[in-house]
Chain A
Amino acid sequence: MADARKTRERRPTSFYVLAAFFALFVLFLYGPMLTIFILSFQGENGGLTFPMNGFSFHWFGNLFERQAVGDFGGSFLRSLKLGLIVMVVTVVVSFMAGLAFRRRFKGDSIVFYLAIASLIVPSILISLGIGLLFNIIEWQPQWFTSALGAHLTWTFPFGLLIMFAVFNRFDPSYEEAARDLGASNWQTIQYVVLPMVGPSLIGVAMFSFTLSYDEFARTLMTAGALNTLPLEIYGMTTNVTTPVLYALGTVTTGFSFLVIALALGSVAILRMRKGQKA
């Protein structure tokens, strides 16, 4: 302890330079977000830039009037539902795949490289490919079929990589102990594996939900007739020139923050419970 304190007193100059750089980086990340947050409370006669012309909730009200800016409510609900489906499917399928990859099997490297390919193939190619495929087999693209598939190609690689990281550090002797005590395969997973990897699965859930909820390029040709929220926002950027755009930004970003907070909160609760038991 004393040793740590001694070194703490002698921070090198480079520390302060780097800390200042880090602070600038954080400002760079959050500054623009903060400006549109402030500007979304722009007065009724205010414009897209400063100065603030009064303070109002006018643009938030405007957002929920259907005619004024397209179908915000409908596209939000669609994105929410799609995100939740993507989340559940990604968590279950990635967990299964993670278990499978703990042993070598024929074709394992094919699936692994497919996952990597899925990550690096430009999103617009996935969109175009699925759009063309549905066009040729004469199926109507829908957000819950083609767009769901397109989103899964984006969330699975993240889910799988997180599962790899988890199981690489997972001690199999816990499972052996459970089996020695007579637990079935399913019981071992339910009572030993799942509680241990639970926090990581919440991470996968949050990742897949937010990736899907914000995905634009992969939805472009796969959503069909009804817009998801990012498509709706994109449409607005080309024809809306009022702060209602910022109000939308504030609302969706607020929602993202809520999801992140929920995920971090549940991880913290899981950790605390585990700590109490031990």
Chain B
Amino acid sequence: MASDTSKRSSYFLITPMAAIFAVFLVIPLVTIVIVSFWDYDEYRILPDFILENYSYLLGSSVTWSIYLNTLKYAALTWLFTLLIGFTVAYFLAFHVRSLTWQIVLFMVCTIPFWTSNIIRMISWIPFLGRNGLLNSALINLGIVDQPLEFLLFSDFAVVLADVHLYALFMVVPIFNSMMRIDRSLIEAARDAGASGFETLKSVIVPLSKPGIAIGSIFVITVVMGDFITVRLMSGGQSASVGLQISNEIGLLQYPAAAASAVVLLITVLLIVTALLRLVDIRKEL
């Protein structure tokens, strides 16, 4: 009896969340899959079952170069956020000794991530632009004669903005994993004669793996689907899968956008599945 009522209350409590996910996540994704087989003309989308959206997409060399470009952004952003995130988390977890300072410094890292992404991208313009701070400084110091053109509206700017936007996604889970490492393990390693670097390599890195995996999932999926950073920071000179989808949406070619979306979703899911082999998410909470 008691378990019956408690079960019923569990279902009552979970229904609102399950319903929202059903209506605004599951049904829309199913809609995308269905529409990716539909036909379209200039004005509307036409229910049908054709494979041309896919054959056109996968047969075009543009698609492959766009995927390559997006993967390049994802890989570079992943590499830099991982290096920065690990170092920052390591400093906070093992070198800052009082809990209060840990919390304060952690908050200092976190606050920018609660502000607008678009504004944070725009804020690079006065720094990187042709007459920006960096170019003026380089010219004044005599390092270069002419302003560097590649700083803004380039692949460099896209990756820089991505790292700037998403580094925290690495810091938080890695810091979380590091805080759970039993400090006596590190003492044991030191007592056994391990140098600082050896301790890092054979104790801290392996035990931080779940955090690294979760951070990687976050950063890679968000960069794979991004279009706004690429559009703003490359100045329209580079493409990404997300940008392609948003352009097709702009042209009202919904079935083509849907087919691109399905391929992107499959790509992202493959990457995530590979990373999930390294970590059991539910155990990490």
Which stretch of B51-59, B202-210, B261-269 is in the interface? B261-269
Q: CB-CB < 8 A to B26: which residues of A?
A: 114
Q: CB-CB < 8 A to B90: which residues of A?
A: 18
The SS class assigned to the B binding surface is helix
- Which B-chain residue is minimally distant from A185 (CB atoms)? B9
The SS class assigned to the A binding surface is helix
Contact B232–A122 (Cβ < 8 Å): no
Query: Which chain A residues in 2-25 approach chain B with CB under 8 Å?
Result: 4, 8, 12, 14-15, 18-19, 21-22, 25
- Which A-chain residue is minimally distant from B236 (CB atoms)? A238
Q: CB-CB < 8 A to B126: which residues of A?
A: 32, 35-36, 39, 48-50, 246
Identify B228's interface contact among A8, A168, A217, A256, CB under 8 A. Answer: A217
Contact B87–A21 (Cβ < 8 Å): yes
Identify B131's interface contact among A15, A36, A49, A96, CB under 8 A. Answer: A49
Q: CB-CB < 8 A to A101: which residues of B?
A: 14
Provide the bound-state CA to CA distance between A217 and B24, in Å.
15
Number of CB contacts from chain A to chain B under 8 A:
251
Provide the bound-state CA to CA distance between A161 and B224, in Å.
23
Contact B20–A156 (Cβ < 8 Å): yes
* Distance from B107 Cβ to chain A, minimum over Cβ atoms (Å): 8
Identify A124's interface contact among B29, B31, B132, B261, CB under 8 A. Answer: B261
- Which A-chain residue is minimally distant from B225 (CB atoms)? A122
Number of interface residues of B (CB under 8 A): 83
Contact A18–B87 (Cβ < 8 Å): yes
Provide the bound-state CA to CA distance between A264 and B108, in Å.
13
Contact B6–A103 (Cβ < 8 Å): yes
Identify A260's interface contact among B14, B114, B136, B249, CB under 8 A. Answer: B114
Contact A14–B196 (Cβ < 8 Å): yes
Interface bits B101-132 vs A (CB < 8 Å: 1, else 0): 00001011101101111111011111101011
Provide the bound-state CA to CA distance between A256 and B112, in Å.
9
Provide the bound-state CA to CA distance between A42 and B14, in Å.
52
Provide the bound-state CA to CA distance between A153 and B23, in Å.
10
* Distance from A5 Cβ to chain B, minimum over Cβ atoms (Å): 11
Identify A32's interface contact among B35, B120, B246, CB under 8 A. Answer: B120
> Chain A, interface size: which category?
35 or more
Q: Report if A125 contacts B (CB, 8 A).
A: yes
- Which A-chain residue is minimally distant from B21 (CB atoms)? A114
Provide the bound-state CA to CA distance between A178 and B108, in Å.
39
Q: CB-CB < 8 A to B112: which residues of A?
A: 29-30, 33
Given the known inter-chain contacts A36-B123, A253-B115, please indicate yes or no for A132 contacting B32, CB distance below 8 A.
Answer: yes
Contact A122–B264 (Cβ < 8 Å): yes
Q: CB-CB < 8 A to B10: which residues of A?
A: 100, 103, 105, 108
Q: Report if B183 contacts A (CB, 8 A).
A: no
Q: CB-CB < 8 A to A130: which residues of B?
A: 24, 28
Contact B285–A165 (Cβ < 8 Å): yes
Identify A97's interface contact among B17, B32, B136, B222, CB under 8 A. Answer: B17
Give 23 A-B contacts (CB < 8 Å), ordered by A residue: A14-B196, A25-B167, A29-B167, A36-B123, A96-B14, A105-B11, A107-B18, A114-B25, A122-B226, A122-B265, A124-B245, A125-B245, A125-B265, A132-B32, A133-B31, A156-B20, A160-B17, A221-B249, A234-B118, A237-B118, A253-B115, A256-B114, A260-B114
